[in-house]
């Protein structure tokens, strides 16, 4: 099966983290300005909410199959339109994507299907996708249990009107039988109460409670969250648990 829903790329952790990046542009607005291309045109890392190009949301508009395109880490000179750069994994008309950085005629895009823990990130032709204006996000749109490989986040209404109570736990190595057998699975957790700003929220875990994310230092667990279409995108500063533990990724609502 060649559809991207069933052909994930190995992620940053044993059971996969995904990544994405996108420009937030409404129809008719320009794509995010190209950044200076790296030598290898990498497009596979977890998207960043705290830095880098603004993220956006779109849908595949091209007919038929839109294949992902290899980056320069897989094959020198990619992405380009040659058959050597084309991947087997593909998207179809109407598939939602998180869009980001642009290099020439290609956008770094991420997709996660309705089933499975893994997401797929890679270059796609820019003319195969159309950005959609940000949809209004209410407090109810945040609520539920959100999961990805080795990560689970529960979002409830906070005690004060307009706030959210967020709590999560994550592991590194729980998907590896060898690490489980050695007892070397690492654990992490985070929690905070925030007032979201539309589709975005962030916080830091202070000794005496939740802090604004800018008030935390480099050793403080910091978390950024954003709602994109059917997904919750999360980034942290890698200080929310044991070695290699991260909440970064694209989460799907379980309930």
Domain boundaries, the chain: 4-131, 139-253
* C-alpha to C-alpha distance for 89 and 111, rounded to whole angstroms: 11
Residue 249, strand partner residues:
234
* pLDDT score at 44: 77
Dist. CA 213–CA 226, nearest whole Å:
14
196 contacts: CB under 8 Å, gap ≥ 6: 137, 139, 142, 164
pTM (two decimals): 0.79
181-208 per-position pLDDT tens digit: 888 899 999 999 999 999 999 999 999 9
DSSP 3-state of 181: helix
Q: For residue 83, which phi and psi values (nearest 5 degrees)?
A: -65, -30
User: CA angle, 240 as apex, 114 and 215 as ends, to 5°?
Assistant: 115
Residues of the chain with pLDDT under 50: 1-2, 5-37
């Amino acid at each position: 099966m060649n559809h991207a829903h069933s052909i994930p790329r190995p992620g940053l952790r044993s059971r996969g983290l995904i990544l994405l990046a996108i420009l937030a542009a409404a129809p008719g607005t320009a794509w995010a300005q190209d950044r200076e291309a790296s030598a290898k045109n990498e497009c596979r890392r977890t998207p960043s909410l705290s830095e880098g190009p603004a993220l956006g949301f779109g849908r595949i508009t091209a007919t038929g199959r839109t294949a992902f395109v290899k980056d320069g880490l897989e094959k020198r000179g990619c992405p380009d339109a040659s058959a050597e750069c084309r991947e087997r994994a593909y998207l179809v008309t109407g598939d939602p994507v998180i869009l980001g950085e642009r290099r020439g005629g290609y956008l770094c895009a991420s997709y996660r299907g309705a089933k499975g823990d893994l997401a797929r990130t890679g270059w796609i032709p820019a003319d195969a996708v159309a950005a959609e204006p940000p949809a209004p996000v209410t407090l109810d749109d945040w609520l539920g249990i959100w999961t990805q490989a080795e990560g689970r986040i529960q979002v409830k209404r906070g005690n004060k009107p307009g706030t959210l109570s967020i709590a999560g736990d994550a592991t590194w190595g729980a998907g590896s039988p060898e690490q489980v057998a050695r007892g070397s699975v690492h654990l992490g957790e985070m929690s905070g109460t925030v007032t979201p700003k539309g589709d975005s929220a962030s916080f830091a875990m202070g000794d005496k409670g939740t802090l604004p994310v800018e008030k935390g230092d480099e050793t403080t667990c910091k978390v950024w969250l954003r709602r994109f279409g059917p997904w919750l995108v999360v980034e942290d500063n890698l200080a929310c648990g044991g070695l290699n533990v991260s909440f970064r990724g694209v989460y799907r609502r379980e309930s």
